[in-house]
Amino acid sequence: MDIKQLGYFLALCQQEHISSTADLLGITQPALSKSLASLEKELGIQLFDRHGNSIRLNDYGRDYAAYAQQALRALENGASILRNSRYDTCGEIRIVCHAFADCLSDCVLAYTDLNPKIKISVGQSAEKDGKLADHADFVLAPHTDSLLLDRRQRTWVAQKLFTEQHQILISPRYRVYPSKITALSIEELREDRFVEMPSVTLFYKDITHQLCHAAGFSPRIFCSTEDFLTKMRFVDAGKAICILPESNLRIARKLSPDIQTFSIRNMDTSRTLYLLGKPASQQSEAAADFWAFAQDFYHSGSAPDAAASPAAGSPNT
């Protein structure tokens, strides 16, 4: 018994005719008859009832056909898995984030769906001197100043991911605005309280102070926190307002479903996020594969709208 015999048998089960099945398989009628006779001899039982020149699958044949189909499917699946495994990228990718890690999560999720053997480590950096983890493959950062990247003066290559604007977030428990108001000026917020994020790395400066100073006043700070969840709990409770980039809004709305968001009038609040990687000659196979995937993801329309729509203006840090 071999795979070819099982294939011939299952074809006969469909056609129940020696001549037409032989034509379908591209073999001679005697060769097909010989194959069937050999299979029945090995099993010790007839699989078809003969009626002159026609054949009919009997109960034994129907039972055996079910096992034959199952066996062939298992063999085909096994062969497919083995063939595909030759091309599965394996290894580990380490990413250090000097921006909110969720900015990259859609890309990481899409990549791991296609490459389940890859292990990805995503860490939120809180190092004040800007020094990268020794073994990082990539850095997510809002600018590309190489002087801040590593005191060892390693070379990094920058890939632009997307450009986005900042938005003002205000809970209805703080103040309610009519739905027709979709934008505010910073000047209108002179008397308001803000939750800010301190400058925990040289890569990141909270834009709150920059915008308020440009509007001619210093912001009233209710709380300064590095923790995004804490920030949104204060904002959701109506204790203060905050300013966030658009890529943070998805998580912000999950934490505060009725939060109101407003674009900022009369100011350029754009920032550009970059993925920084080692030169190609220094990248592992997994890192090189992710580098190429990220470029396609953010520049072929795969990324979510909030992160994929470029905005005009120079990056803010």
Of 30-44, 127-141, 156-170, 287-301, where does mean pLDDT reach its minimum?
127-141
Q: How confident is the model at residue 50 (pLDDT cuts 50, 70, 90)?
A: confident
Closest CA to 261 of 197, 182, 196, 191: 182
Q: Which of 52-61, 291-300, 308-317 has the lowest mean pLDDT?
A: 308-317
pLDDT at 208 over 60: yes
Report which DSSP code applies to 146: G
* pTM value > 0.85: no
Of the pLDDT bands very low, low, confident and very high (cuts 50, 70, 90), residue 309 is very low
Which among 204, 224, 202, 312 has a CA at the least distance from the CA of 267? 312
In the chain, CATH 1.10.10.10 covers 3-85
At residue 166 the predicted structure's pLDDT band, cuts being 50, 70 and 90, is very high
pLDDT over 50 (residue 235) = yes
CB atoms < 10 A from the CB of 96, how many?
Answer: 24
CATH architecture of 3-85: Orthogonal Bundle (1.10)
Instruction: Out of 101-105, 133-137, 213-217, give the one with best mean pLDDT.
Output: 213-217
CA gap 102, 140 in Å, rounded: 11
Write out the residue limits of the CATH 3.40.190.10 domain(s) in the chain: 91-163+271-308, 166-264
pLDDT at 53: 64
Question: Of the candidates 216, 190, 187, 221, which has an alpha carbon nearest to the alpha carbon of residue 206?
Answer: 221
Question: Quick one: average pLDDT of 251-256?
Answer: 96
Q: Report the chain's mean pLDDT, rounded to a whole number.
A: 84
Q: Which whole number is the average pLDDT over 308-317?
A: 33
Q: Enumerate the β-bridge partners of residue 196.
A: 224
State what percent of residues in the chain have pLDDT above 90. Answer: 49
pLDDT of 175 above 80: yes
Mean pLDDT, to the nearest integer, of 184-203? 85
According to DSSP, the residues that pair with 51 across neighbouring strands are 54
Selected residue with higher pLDDT from 72 and 83: 72
What are 114's two structure tokens?
């296609």
Residue 259 structure tokens:
């939060």
The pLDDT-based confidence of 51 (bands split at 50, 70, 90) is confident
Q: Which CATH superfamily is domain 166-264 in?
A: Periplasmic binding protein-like II (3.40.190.10)
Q: What pLDDT is attached to residue 73?
A: 87
**Residue 203's pLDDT is what?**
55
pLDDT of residue 201: 55
Pairing of strands 271-277, 157-164: antiparallel
- Rounded average pLDDT over 97-112: 89
Residue 316 is predicted with a pLDDT of: 35
91-163+271-308: CATH topology:
D-Maltodextrin-Binding Protein; domain 2 (3.40.190)
